[in-house]
Amino acid sequence: MSDPEDINADRIFNDDEARTPLPIGGGPTMTAGQMEEAEAAVPAGGEARSTGTIFRQMARVFRENKLAVAGLGVVVFFILFCFVGPHIYTTNQTNTQLALQNSTNNAPPSSKNPLGTDGSGFDILGRLMFGGQASLIVGFASAFVATVFGTVYGALSGFFGRWLDSLLMRIVDILLSIPVLFLLIALVTIYHQSEILLILVIAFVSWLVPARLIRGETLSLRNREYVQAVRVMGGSRSRIIGRHIIPNSIGTIVVFATFQVADSILLLAALGFLGLGVPAPQTDWGTMLSNGVDAAGNGYWWQIYPAGLCIVLVVVAFNYVGDALRDSLEVRLQQR
Amino acid sequence: MTGYIIRRVGQSIVVILGVVLITFLLAKLIPGGEAKAVLGPKATPANIAHFNRLNGLDAPIYLQFWRYVEGLFAHLNLGYSYKYNQGVRQVIGERLPKTLTLVGVSTLIALVLAIPLGILQVVRRNKPIDYALTGASFFFYAMPDFLFGTLLIIWFSFDLGWFPVSPPTDSSAWAIFTDPRAFILPVVTLAATTVASFSRYMRSSMMDALAEDYIRTARAKGASNRRVLYGHALRNALIPLLTLLGLSLPAIVSGALIVENVFNYPGMGLLTVQSAFNDDIPVVLGTTLVITVATVIGSLMADILYAVADPRIRLGGGD
């Protein structure tokens, strides 16, 4: 535990552990030592698996794990709700004048507005769809950017090793030591909010963990026989990284990306709650919650609970899916 | 142990210097430049050139960085807030102790609650109480802190009126204790998530310890169940918890930012968000730098405690 490498392994493990409350009634988790053994045992096989296999593996996870199916169901429901819903349940969400023609502001739930209206007269049910679009888009997009960048960064760092590895990993250490919301707000203050910038800014604070994880995988993969074989046959470095190391880490990458979507949605919700979310006329669930809280003293509960519930449901759903995927990875490890 | 501590201190210094470099670079990367951020979008080129000359912003970048570092370490100069018309250090000064109090008290309470809860879950593992606590920690873990705090304030401050809606806003750090009731909900909110993850960790760390050979040895020697549990397993399980504590600090401090904004608690987090609204970039960068340094020092202290607590390191010479 005293060795710096061990501390690194421990951090990865802890980060994992921080999410481990999810498997209910789960047994003891792996120690750092076990984790290293497991890592060493990862893919003993030859060439990179084709993507078909990982999809088949994921399909098996969902057949076997009810919670994962429920989680996936919730995710699919919200995607339909936010992107198809507005076409079925049409409301005006950008023009207060038009919104107020149909109802009053702060109206409680009624047959006309199933979840009531907010302070500007916008229908809450329609606004949940409208705001959910931003939450989901930013969540997916920033998780994607963070995972891709972190993967490449981690693979380069682990593969080239030596001084480059030390330098790249020190940069990760430094950025990780800044409490994430402070860094996020500093970035949001300097680069004024637009949806694209929010995606990039959230990705900027999120790529550090995958960089560490993939570096660890790369360290254990780069000395495998098949990588040496590629090297002997004159395969270029970019071929080794692109065709062998990254495809062999795909499980870790997919699991991380799933958790990161949840984290990104939460980060955006936190920013929205603080009043620094996507700029008007667009909105997001965090901003809706924050607007509702401003009126908390008036007892407009319908402006608070639905948005809060949406955030929690989506985040928990993604965590269930991620958990099941991670378990499937570990199952694969045990079978070898 | 000395070797370990020296290395950890060295790492911390590198991290702090790195954070200084990052805040410096962020200020340089302001779109339109620092001068425009202060003077406004209508500033003439002459105004900007004058401002840059006055503030040494026309010097080469490495020289600017050197002056920045020198100002920081020699004079604790964090820059100047044109919105407050005060040095950033003066603006931050009265806020920092409040945040440190909030984080410190919450973390202590979280530890005091999480350790017995984790033990209880191990002693009664796979019994209803274990499942109930697992479910509860899952709930608090999944609950975003801004939502949990909001619900607490609505239920207990607005509806029931048990707690004031926001704490006294006196400038002294001790003012928060003049009305301790105002301090309760923020601490509960911040501690809840931490208790959830710490007790989970405590549970699995105890389980790991119980699977070790020395536990079997202790049992074979005839040690009582109690002694095995508290004398052997617990002492070993507490050590990794110290590492977790050090690693969790940035997340707890991030949580404090949210909590401060939910409860209008006048600390660094509230200041940062208010300054973000005011486009007061020097204050935002200043709070980020100061809070990070505080976090790094906190983590360092946790790691040193870990070295002291673990005889394998304490007595193990260099490592």
Q: What is the pLDDT of residues A140-190, one digit of tens each?
A: 999 999 999 988 888 888 888 788 888 888 888 888 888 888 888 888 888
Low-confidence ranges of chain A (pLDDT < 70): 1-54, 57, 94-103, 106-107, 111, 115, 119, 121, 296-297, 329-336
Q: pTM for the full model?
A: 0.80
CB B204, CB A29: distance < 8 Å: yes
Residue B15 has its nearest CB partner, among A17, A177, A289, at A177
- State both tokens at A67: 């919670």
Structure confidence at residue B316 as a pLDDT band (50, 70, 90): low
- State both tokens at B189: 């909110």
User: Does residue B54 belong to the interface with chain A, where contact is any CB pair within 8 Å?
Assistant: no
**Given this model, what pLDDT does residue A98 score?**
65
With beta carbons under 8 A apart, name residues in chain B contacting A2: 4, 307, 312-313, 316, 319
Residues 6+ apart with CB under 8 A from B68: B20, B24
| Rounded distance between C-alpha atoms, residue A321 and residue A256, angstroms | 11
Cβ separation of B142 and A276 shorter than 8 Å?
A: no
Residue A186 has its nearest CB partner, among B244, B285, B316, at B285
Is a pLDDT exceeding 70 seen at residue B163? yes
Residue B197 has its nearest CB partner, among A18, A189, A270, at A18
Residues 6+ apart with CB under 8 A from A203: A141, A142, A143, A145, A146, A149, A264
Is a pLDDT exceeding 50 seen at residue B310? yes
Q: Is ipTM > 0.90 here?
A: no
- Helices of type H across chain B: 2-28, 34-39, 45-54, 61-75, 88-93, 96-123, 128-142, 145-152, 181-210, 213-220, 225-227, 234-263, 268-277, 281-309, 311-314
With beta carbons under 8 A apart, name residues in chain B contacting A266: 144
Determine the distance in angstroms separating the CA of A50 from the nearest CA of chain B, rounded to an integer: 34
Partner residues linked to B86 by β-bridges: B81
